[in-house]
Structure 1
Amino acid sequence: MQLLFFIAVPFFGFGFADNAIMIVCGDFIDAQFGVMFGLTTMASAGLGNWLSDTIGLGLGDVIERSAAQLGGMRE
């Protein structure tokens, strides 16, 4: 059970952060650049996903360390 939580908590945190960043970035790209460059909503969502994945690579370690501190888990 401890292993389950040790693995699940960082995945939940990363998934939440990844999706939140993707929605915000996709909406911003659609609102600011969609009309200017003729982007479809789906293209804006794809670019938002790309940005979210790029940012997520940097956040992965931060999320894992934060989850370990919150749960008192040791590496």
Structure 2
Amino acid sequence: MSPTLVPRLPLVYWLTGGTSNEAAVVHDWLYTTKPVDRETADHVLREALSVTCVPAWRRWLMYWGGRLFGAEHW
């Protein structure tokens, strides 16, 4: 299995990269295996970010980044 490539703007990556690996791994798995629809996968990301104590502003950036730019990887 090849790793999923996620395009990242340098500023967004600087603000969010490496800060929520647990949530990102679950989200990437959902995108790869597709056991749920895309909207549910993105909501799982948002909840996982919250549970792992990611600050609200960072959760917002990551969630909306995925919603706006994740369709091509779905």
- Asked if Structure 1 and Structure 2 have the same fold, meaning a TM-score greater than 0.5 normalized by the shorter chain, the answer is no
Larger proportion of helix: 1
- TM-score, normalising length: structure 1: 0.35
The structure with the larger Rg is: 1
- TM-score, normalising length: structure 2: 0.36
